[in-house]
Amino acid sequence: MPRNLIAETLRRGLYTRVVAKRILFFQELGSTMDEARRQADAGCDEGTLVLAETQTTGRGRFNRTWVSQAGNLYFSIIFYPSVAALPFLSSLGGVAIARAIRRVTGLQPKLKWPNDVLVGGSKVAGILVESGVEGSGVKYAVLGIGINIDIDQQHLAGVPAANSLYEATGKEIARDELLTCLLHEIDALYLGLKQGQTPLAQWKGLLDTLGQQVNATSGDHSYSGLAEDIDE
């Protein structure tokens, strides 16, 4: 039975300014994204963290299934960003995850546009941002993060190029320490973003795609070429 994440995380000490000032923990949810949206609709505080031990209908981009087995990390954070800040939430999540994984495990994660966190070329974490709009403003945004800490390979069968941190290191991963570290990273980057500092430079430094031949699809058109740089 996985240990109680909240108790462990709080015991380690959280010194965040916005993120996770309120924590809602569920043993099981359909998706933390849906519970987060409900909380946002009810006007919850910014930074509210919705954490689930397992999800029955965890999802990724394009509504793909996100395998959600106990012992890993599945959570969503509610933000009320400006229109200008919203597009940076996904890259903010990627930078925060990469930094936290590096700090706690010593691994050197890379990011693959737009939302994959890779270790040794395999995906160990994913980021999903969903938002609600009202008129020309942002009503809320939900940053969802899933990290494969230690997941049965049989559960990952059929998920191309996915892996877990345990497989990558061969060592037990301190899940509570990783969560604590990650929440601090998100908090710091979000406070910076509110003051107009985007995470793009750090994101660029972690991007796996730069310098590589890539294919991109927009509507019915496909393009291939060299990924040279990114800009805002």
Residues between 134 and 153 with contacts to ligand BTN, criterion CB under 6 A: 144-146
Binders of ligand BTN among residues 186 to 225 (CB under 6 A) are none
Q: Which of 47, 58, 71, 199 binds ligand BTN (CB under 6 A)?
A: 58
Closest by CA position to 172, among listed 151, 153, 145, 149 = 149
Q: Does 163 participate in binding ligand BTN (rule CB under 6 A)?
A: no
Binding-site member from 31, 48, 105, 180 for ligand BTN (CB under 6 A): 31
Stretch that binds ligand BTN, among 41-49, 74-82, 132-140, 164-172 (CB under 6 A): 74-82
For residues 71 and 2, is the Cβ–Cβ distance under 8 A?
yes
Q: Which residue, 59 or 99, has its beta carbon nearer to ligand BTN? A: 59
Which residue in 60, 81, 93, 94 binds ligand BTN (CB under 6 A)? 60
From 24, 53, 59, 178, residue interacting with ligand BTN (rule: CB under 6 A): 59
One residue of 32, 39, 148, 180 binding ligand BTN per CB under 6 A: 32
Asked if 119 touches ligand BTN (CB under 6 A), the answer is: no
112 lies in the binding site for ligand BTN (CB under 6 A): no
Residue 74 makes contact with ligand BTN by CB under 6 A: yes
Q: Does 109 bind ligand BTN (CB under 6 A)?
A: no
With beta carbons less than 8 A apart as the criterion, state whether 22 and 47 touch: yes
1-9 long-range contacts, Cβ below 8 Å, gap at least 24?
1/70, 2/53, 2/70, 2/71, 2/175, 3/176, 5/51, 5/53, 5/175, 5/176, 5/179, 6/51, 8/175, 8/176, 9/176, 9/179, 9/180, 9/183
The stretch among 6-14, 16-24, 59-67, 200-208 that binds ligand BTN (CB under 6 A) is 59-67
Only one residue has tokens 């229109």, namely 83
Choice between 58 and 109, CB closer to ligand BTN: 58
Q: Does residue 126 belong to the site contacting ligand BTN (CB under 6 A)?
A: yes
Which residues make up the interface to ligand BTN (CB under 6 A)? 31-33, 55, 58-61, 64, 66, 74-76, 115, 126-128, 144-146
